[in-house]
């Protein structure tokens, strides 16, 4: 465990010791801390009214911020809840409730048991092109539903994607910096919010983003899924954003059939970038191609050598097959019966089934 992870665990333990067991809004019993960020804590909780386990996201204020900044963060948190609630997709978290307590909002939402995509890549290794395409297709479905509602996510990256443990369901989380059409901006003028490697060139240049900006981020996520590192990462925010705007993409080495999707989504000009329909078609093609290849490999005829006798003695002699040719049109069952009587043929036939 790294020093940062140990520090984060210590803070979670401290939070749990202080507020664990608290009853929120007379209904939600806080349990352990699931995660903690700079502006909030996510709790496991029990909904004592409906008898189900939920996640509760608590907004926390740094001690150094003023009242205006507090109001801005409250607006951002409420915007996240409203944005998620408007999205109809299996790949989006369901929001159950928003509670106002201690002069701050607490978002009650569906609990997703599993790892983030970032954790999967770090702990289990990179994804195969097919699995990356499946993840990408699921995220694309959420983005499509969000864009229909006039919502831009603006922070699509591996740490904001959860992979549910039971069925591998892919969930896009953290709409905290989402931009909702018709709402005023919640970020300060001149500020760029997001992970540099996943910020589109148009956003990096300060231009107003559209749905294509989220698709760029999806392309970066797919790149990281198969390569293990984000695209254009130069070690610092300024250098990375400069590379995003001006440098060609380092060719992916492990993308295979996914390369066309990655290059299409990471086109620097949003007008030349793959749109949702084009990306969906190519991702499905990758999945279908990989499935067909796997099927051919499974069905391929194989020659399997017979095992040697355990005592090292002479191999048992094969029974001689009848040399008399079978008349044309004779029942195939005769050949099957002959094969069934021959132990030398059975392993080969079994291996090819």
Asked whether residue 314 is assigned to any structural domain, the reply reads: no
Which pLDDT value is given to residue 333?
A: 38
Q: How many secondary structure helices (H) and strands (E) does the chain include?
A: 11, 11
- Residue of 167, 165, 186 whose CA lies nearest to 175: 186
Q: What residues contact 26, with CB distance under 8 A and at least 6 apart?
A: none
pLDDT in tens, 195-205: 899 999 999 99
Nearest Cα neighbor of 274 from 232, 233, 213, 226 is: 213
pLDDT band for 38, please (50, 70, 90 cuts): low
Whether 105 is in a domain gets the answer yes
Torsion angle of the four alpha carbons 62, 63, 67, 72, in this order, in degrees rounded to the nearest 10: 0
Q: What is the mean pLDDT of residues 52-75?
A: 88
How many residues does this entry show for the chain? Answer: 353
Assess if residue 162 is contained within a domain: yes
Q: What is the pLDDT of residue 328?
A: 41
Task: Indicate whether 32 and 102 sit together in one domain.
Answer: yes
pLDDT at residue 64, as a whole number: 79
Confidence grade of residue 179 (pLDDT, cut at 50, 70, 90): low
Q: d(Cα 158, Cα 156) in Å, to the nearest integer?
A: 7
Shared domain check, 195 and 56: no
Do 102 and 243 lie in a common domain? no
What is the distance between the alpha carbons of residues 237 and 308, in angstroms, rounded to a whole number? Answer: 63
In a domain, 154, yes or no: yes
> What is the pLDDT, as a whole number, of residue 219?
98
**Of these residues, 47, 124, 155, 166, which one is catalytic?**
155
Model pLDDT for residues 238-275, shown as the tens digit of each residue = 999 999 999 999 999 999 999 999 999 999 999 999 99
Give the list of residues 6+ apart from residue 2 with CB closer than 8 angstroms, or none.
none
Are residues 154 and 85 both part of a single domain? no
Q: Which residues contact 296 (CB under 8 A, 6 or more apart)?
A: none
pTM for this prediction? 0.73
Residue 347 has pLDDT above 60, yes or no: no
Are both 106 and 126 inside the same structural domain?
Answer: no
Active site residue 155: yes
Q: Which domain-ending residue is among 71, 86, 110?
A: 110
- Is residue 345 situated within a structural domain? yes
Asked if 172 and 291 sit in the same domain, the reply is yes
In angstroms, rounded to a whole number, what is the distance separating the alpha carbons of residues 16 and 58?
13
Q: What is the pLDDT of residue 296?
A: 53
Is 318 contained in some domain?
Answer: no
> Residues of 153-169 as b/e, b for ≥16 C-beta within 10 angstroms?
bbbbbbbbbbbeeeeee
Domain at 20, CATH number: 3.30.200.20
The answer as to whether 269 is a domain residue is yes
245 and 288 both lie in a single domain? yes
Residue 98, C-beta contacts closer than 8 angstroms, at least 6 positions apart: 78, 81, 105, 106, 107, 108
DSSP state of 99: E
Q: Judge if 130 and 88 occupy the same domain.
A: no
Place of tokens 């999945």: 287
Element (H, E) at 36: strand 28-36
Q: Quote the CA–CA distance of 190 and 138 in Å, as a whole number.
A: 33
Domain encompassing residue 335: 301-309+329-353
319 part of a folded domain: no
At which of 76, 110, 144 does a domain end? 110
Question: What's the CA gap between 155 and 217, in Å, rounded?
Answer: 7
Give the count of beta carbons closer than 10 Å to the beta carbon of residue 247: 14
Count of domains observed in the chain = 3
Is the domain of 268 the same as that of 130? Answer: yes
Contacts of 224 (CB under 8 A, 6+ apart): 121, 157, 158, 197, 230, 231
pLDDT band at 70 (very low <50, low <70, confident <90, very high): confident
End-of-domain residue from the set 92, 110, 128? 110
Banded model confidence at residue 142, pLDDT cuts 50, 70, 90: very high
Q: pLDDT band for position 309 (50/70/90)?
A: very low
- Mean predicted lDDT score pLDDT of the chain: 80
């Amino acid at each position: 465990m790294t020093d940062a992870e140990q520090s984060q665990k210590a803070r979670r333990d401290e939070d749990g010791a202080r507020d664990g067991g608290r009853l929120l809004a007379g209904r939600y019993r806080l349990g352990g801390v699931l995660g903690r960020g700079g502006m909030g804590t996510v709790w496991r909780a029990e909904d004592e009214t409906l008898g189900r386990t939920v996640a509760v996201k608590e907004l926390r204020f740094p001690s150094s911020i003023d009242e205006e900044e507090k109001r801005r963060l409250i607006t951002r948190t409420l915007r996240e809840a409203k944005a998620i609630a408007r999205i109809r997709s299996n790949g989006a978290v369901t929001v159950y409730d928003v509670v106002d307590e201690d002069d701050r909002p607490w978002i009650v939402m569906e609990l997703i048991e599993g790892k983030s995509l970032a954790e999967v890549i770090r702990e289990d290794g990179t994804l195969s092109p097919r699995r990356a395409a499946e993840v990408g297709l699921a995220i694309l479905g959420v983005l499509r539903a969000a864009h229909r509602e006039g919502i831009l996510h603006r922070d699509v990256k591996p740490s904001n994607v959860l992979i549910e443990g039971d069925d591998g369901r892919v969930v896009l989380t953290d709409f905290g910096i989402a931009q909702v059409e018709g709402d005023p901006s919640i970020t300060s003028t001149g500020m760029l919010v997001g992970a540099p490697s996943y910020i589109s060139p148009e956003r990096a240049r300060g231009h107003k983003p559209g749905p294509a900006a989220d698709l760029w981020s999806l392309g970066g996520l797919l790149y990281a899924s198969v390569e293990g590192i984000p695209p254009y990462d130069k070690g610092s925010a300024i250098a990375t954003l400069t590379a995003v705007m001006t440098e060609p993409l380092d060719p992916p080495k492990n993308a295979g059939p996914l390369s066309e999707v990655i290059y299409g989504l990471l086109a620097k000009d949003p007008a030349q970038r793959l749109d949702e329909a084009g990306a969906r078609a190519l991702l499905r093609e990758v999945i279908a191609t990989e499935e067909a290849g796997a099927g051919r490999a499974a069905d391929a005829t194989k020659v399997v050598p017979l095992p040697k006798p355990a005592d090292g003695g002479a191999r048992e002699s094969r029974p001689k097959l009848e040399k008399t040719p079978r008349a044309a049109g004779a029942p195939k069952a005769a050949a099957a019966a002959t094969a069934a009587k021959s132990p030398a043929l059975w392993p080969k036939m079994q291996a090819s089934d």
